[in-house]
Amino acid sequence: MKFYSSICFLLSLYAIHPVFSQSSTRDLNQEKINKNLKILVLSDLNDGYGSTTYSQEVLDVVDRIAELKPDLILCGGDMVAGQKKTLTRVDLEAMWAGFDRVVLQPIKTAAVPFGFTMGNHDASPGYALDREVSALFWNNHKHDVNLTFIDSSHFPYYYSYLKNNVLIISWDASSAQIPNDIKSWMKEQLNSSLARKTRFKIVLGHLPLYALVESKNKPGEVLEQADETLSFLKENGVDLYLSGHQHVYYPAQKESVILYHSGCLGGGPRSLLGDDQVPYKAYGLIEIPKKINKKQDVKISGIKAVDHQEIELHKLPVQVSGFNGTLNRIDVVK
């Protein structure tokens, strides 16, 4: 009876204590070593509501993984096309099955770790069924992402992981509000003894801080209290915030934080405010060297999906101003 009680206690501890769901000490120690880190950035892969298929641009970039040889893939959200009340559980499951087939399994086969953040079309807080089906899908595929987790107790909505001594945190920015409990968790993660020894810190969230395109130039389409959120990231040592949602590539810097705005590979590329260029689909690369003396040592690039040519930075607007603030292109920040 005593033995049985002890077993029950251990099983209950396994079920509720987050430490049991994290990576092994050996795996974490291996990831604490400084190495060059090449990140492939994808975002906004979805097409029309309910779509279970993906555009040719998505297929092409997934096919290029072997050629690009990334050490890590980060996705800025909107992996499926939900956020519509008429979509049933069957519809939602079919969309995630399509994503699994077209995107996730090829990435798993390529043996590249895959970090992601939930978008509004994946798991909007106002759509309980979307969130339920999304959580079920990702918990069934948790091992497929091949990440070295630091804390995965809130996976897939917010979680932390380590790659080549770079700390990455995915938080739930699928809506304009970041709950205080997530910020409290973030603060603990970013100020842990492990985090203080990392050489670069990235936060990944779907909604950006500041508006960059006409259709998103309004409250609800960016994080609330952008300046306060920027201060939170800065004060807790975040080097780069990577977002999606706006469907336009624009690398900016505000104060000490790099703001990497991802282009889209799915439907609806957009133009920057005040820019007359024809919109285009894009993906990107972030290359972090083994040793970083300053943020300019990190190479950031965007790539047009139509011809896989690098986007010329000097052809992007030097400055973009939306309703809640102004951003400067990364290369013009002193």
Give me the pLDDT at residue 13, please.
34
pTM over 0.75: yes
pLDDT at 10 over 60: no
Fold of 34-332: Purple Acid Phosphatase; chain A, domain 2 (3.60.21)
* Percent residues over pLDDT 70 in the chain: 93
Cβ contacts of 162 within 8 Å, gap of 6 or more: 23, 28, 31, 32, 148, 150, 168, 194, 198
CA atoms of 52 and 24, how far apart (whole Å): 36
For 80-123, write each residue's pLDDT tens digit. Answer: 999 999 999 999 999 999 999 999 999 999 999 999 999 999 99
For 137-184, write each residue's pLDDT tens digit. Answer: 999 999 999 999 999 999 999 999 999 999 999 999 999 999 999 999
Give me the pLDDT at residue 23, please.
77
Give me the pLDDT at residue 334, please.
57
**Site of tokens 């190495």:** 35
CA distances from 61 to 106, 283, 287 (A): 11, 8, 17
- Ranges of each domain in the chain: 34-332
Residue 213 contacts residue 165 (beta carbons within 8 Å): no
Residue 30 contacts residue 65 (beta carbons within 8 Å): no
Rounded mean pLDDT, 285-297 = 89
Give me the pLDDT at residue 284, please.
97
pLDDT category of residue 22 using cuts at 50, 70 and 90: confident
For 39-89, write each residue's pLDDT tens digit. Answer: 999 999 999 999 999 999 999 999 999 999 999 999 999 999 999 999 999
Average pLDDT, the chain: 92
DSSP string, 140-156: HSGGGG---EEE-TTTT
CA atoms of 203 and 46, how far apart (whole Å): 22
Give me the pLDDT at residue 101, please.
97
